[in-house]
Amino acid sequence: MRPKRSHHCSRCGHCVRRMDHHCPWINNCVGEDNHWLFLQLCFYTELLTCYALMFSFCHYYYFLPLKKHNLDLFVVRHELAIMRLAAFMGITMFVGITGLFYTQLIGIITDTTSIEKMSNCCEEISRPRKPWQQTFSEVFGTRWKILWFIPFRQRQPLRVPYHFANHV
């Protein structure tokens, strides 16, 4: 018997509770047990991309005055070209990760997975709406909001109240 809100992944061959999607980056299904780790991966990737872009732009503006004096130097011209390419790739990655992180957060707030959104099975279902704090606590495994962003911890499943337990 299949648990509610579980799906079978055709790539992994596993049945995953609250399966959101199969992620090629981590080569695994994102579901109930590892959704919080995927959110942390997106958050820290976005943070590090911002950090790298900030230093790339600072480095670029440091080299811009050198370009006026040493325009004919091969190294200066090619380093500026590489920095422009790296900035373009960083901005592209930042926009992509921001979109992915945003859709994952909206999915948690609305308590739907990507598979449920695509199949339109959760539109106006008679299940009760949970507050956003509870849905985030269920995903991250703790009610302490400061612990949501700490990657070196174990996720403990929350005890769900009885009136919410019938749809999990």
- Check whether 53 has a pLDDT greater than 80: yes
Given the residues 9, 15, 23, 50, select the one marked as catalytic: 23
Which of residues 159 and 27 earns the better pLDDT score?
27
CA end-to-end distance (rounded Å), the chain: 15
pLDDT digits (tens, 9 = 90+) for 97-142: 999 999 999 988 888 888 888 887 655 555 667 888 888 888 888 7
Is 122 a residue of the active site? Answer: no
Give the C-alpha separation, 135 to 148, whole Å. Answer: 12
Domain boundaries, the chain: 10-118+127-149
Nearest CA among 41, 164, 33, 146 for reference residue 104 = 41
- Check whether 145 has a pLDDT greater than 80: no
pLDDT digits (tens, 9 = 90+) for 78-89: 777 788 888 899
- Check whether 166 has a pLDDT greater than 50: no
Q: Using alpha carbons only, how large is the chain's radius of gyration in Å?
A: 22
Q: Which range, of 9-13, 16-20, 147-151, 156-160, averages the lowest pLDDT?
A: 156-160
* Helix, strand, coil percent values for the chain (each to nearest 5): 55, 5, 35
Cβ atoms of residues 83 and 63 within 8 Å: yes
Secondary structure (DSSP) of 16-57? EET--EEETTTTEEE-TTTHHHHHHHHHHHHHHHHHHHHHHH
